[in-house]
Structure 1
């Protein structure tokens, strides 16, 4: 039995997470869920977006399954996602984007995994004003050798363990010669230790162009925090949108799994939110726990339902009368 912290989140979070839990429970894996709270709902109920009880649960389980959270707007509140990643050193953000049968896009053979450094870079949160008038602001991009080594080594190990052929580092070392230059230097050093994996390096703006023109040129992509954030949304667009993209946040002794899309409060409670991304994040969770058979059953069931296009949410098929709950039920049925 695996003990997992369950954070349903805000907006559409509870509805899509209910379907994900239903599907995971039907997969054959033995999960004991320990529900905790975070985000806007937690702030309204407990006076803080990240209650101590939630942190205590994650401290104990070291594995969390999380729905989308609304970041509180206002002084003193920062992104809960960033806070969790930094506290638990969840340094590797893994976002796979793969073409789906039944989802019409410009390409039908995309299979790219973005490996994004998750704790440093411009998202380290080191910002301040330089003048009392607050008319000049400065953000510090922090890139360390240790942080670069662990994320780039993770990317190469991921490629090797998942039978991937190539790792591409995306950078801006031609302009940011210290921070991005350090990241690129470490990538070159690391690549030399993995002679069985092809290595490529691309300047980030050129990488965006090439990725749109010919996605087949990319396999595993590793980059610093903000570039990874942007590229993972780009790859989502190549395969049908954020509603299909799962994410894993991996550290040395803790991991958090989630959909990468937002909380979409405008469609909360309407039974139309697409649960695919968070269900596929559940498959990543199962693989992390060693429940590979259950993960494979889940993935095949989701692929079957999406391919058939009958019991899917309207964003996947405008003619579908099915909603979030009906899609979850169809995936459970497909596993049986």
Structure 2
């Protein structure tokens, strides 16, 4: 399940800290098996850490302080290309206009920079008929994207944060390494109301699972209190993955309808003047009723 896929879009009525949350409508493809997420690290002072520091010093003449913890950041050609490949295919299948490779290659040239290089290679070799690099749009087409082409471009990771705030409508699908994707997806979710309305999928070539981005909340178990919107939107993603698009549209539309009517759980109600605060089960019932009504 190498692709952590996180759509980020605003549901009308959800409180947001930005003036125009509707301008942000992106899908983030975050690599899910490599980078620092691989968990290859050793604690300060362990034999493994001391040995690696010694090897770096004696074999590569790289000095690392003896009191350092040590971690390894693997970014492979295989892992990078399969993620970008899935992101481009998603863009093609869903009528998206661009895929942006987000990286920190200006500093980490042989990991993050390589991710960028491999991403462009996938687009050029495997999707030549469907994609065009942004540089070619500028140089050969006067800045106008040819019909039927998906733009491939790249942005330095730290710049991407301000781009999502200042020029969100210029971005569509983002493909990035693990840690960048972790930071970006949570920051982007804040623009559309927070993790309570953010769903995610972990997708491979043969299997997939879908869940709220926020994960579990054991302290609220059995309290019939928390916001189930992210869970429901994860269900929307699952239905889309299965090819049941009509069902996905009905569920998403029902959630939007209920939130738009200001029938919401406590976390949203406290930020929405005139809202009707309901429990988890009552919110779910309202969504079911909205789906039933749409089917009549």
Bucket of the pairwise TM-score, normalised by the shorter protein: 0.7 to 0.9
User: Counterparts of 1:199 and 1:305 in 2: how far apart (Å)?
Assistant: 37
SS, match of residue 160 in structure 1: helix
2:268 to 311, 316, 330: 316
- Structure 2 residue ranges without an equivalent (≥5): 50-66, 133-148
**Corresponding position of 1:120:** 34
Over the aligned positions, Cα root-mean-square deviation in angstroms equals 1.5
User: Counterparts of 1:286 and 1:176 in 2: how far apart (Å)?
Assistant: 38
Does structure 1 residue 334 correspond to structure 2 residue 286?
no
- Structure 1 residues 1-336: aligned runs within 5 Å: 90-105=1-16, 106=18, 107=20, 108-129=22-43, 131-132=45-46, 135-192=67-124, 193=128, 194-195=131-132, 196-310=149-263, 312-318=264-270, 319-336=275-292
Deviation at 1:306, TM superposition (A): 1.1
User: Counterparts of 2:15 and 2:195 in 1: how far apart (Å)?
Assistant: 14
Contact 2:101–2:174 (8 Å) recurs in 1: yes
User: Counterparts of 2:3 and 2:182 in 1: how far apart (Å)?
Assistant: 12
Deviation at 1:130, TM superposition (A): 5.5
Contact 2:265–2:279 (8 Å) recurs in 1: yes
SS, match of residue 163 in structure 1: coil
Deviation at 1:264, TM superposition (A): 2.7
**Corresponding position of 2:63:** none
- Structure 1 residue ranges without an equivalent (≥5): 1-89
Query: For structure 1, which segment, 229-238 or 184-193, has the greater mean C-alpha deviation from structure 2 after superposition?
Result: 184-193
User: Counterparts of 2:68 and 2:8 in 1: how far apart (Å)?
Assistant: 38
SS, match of residue 23 in structure 2: coil
User: Counterparts of 1:129 and 1:269 in 2: how far apart (Å)?
Assistant: 38
User: Counterparts of 1:320 and 1:124 in 2: how far apart (Å)?
Assistant: 44
User: Counterparts of 1:272 and 1:109 in 2: how far apart (Å)?
Assistant: 30
Contact 2:101–2:116 (8 Å) recurs in 1: yes
User: Counterparts of 1:132 and 1:267 in 2: how far apart (Å)?
Assistant: 38
Deviation at 1:229, TM superposition (A): 0.7
Structure whose alpha-carbon radius of gyration is higher: 2
Count the aligned residue pairs.
246
Which digits, 9 at most, give the CA deviation of each residue in 1:247-305, with x for residues without a partner?
11111111111111032334333322000001110111112222222111111111111
Contact 2:24–2:164 (8 Å) recurs in 1: no
TM-score (norm 1): 0.70
Which digits, 9 at most, give the CA deviation of each residue in 1:34-69, with x for residues without a partner?
xxxxxxxxxxxxxxxxxxxxxxxxxxxxxxxxxxxx
Deviation at 1:191, TM superposition (A): 2.9
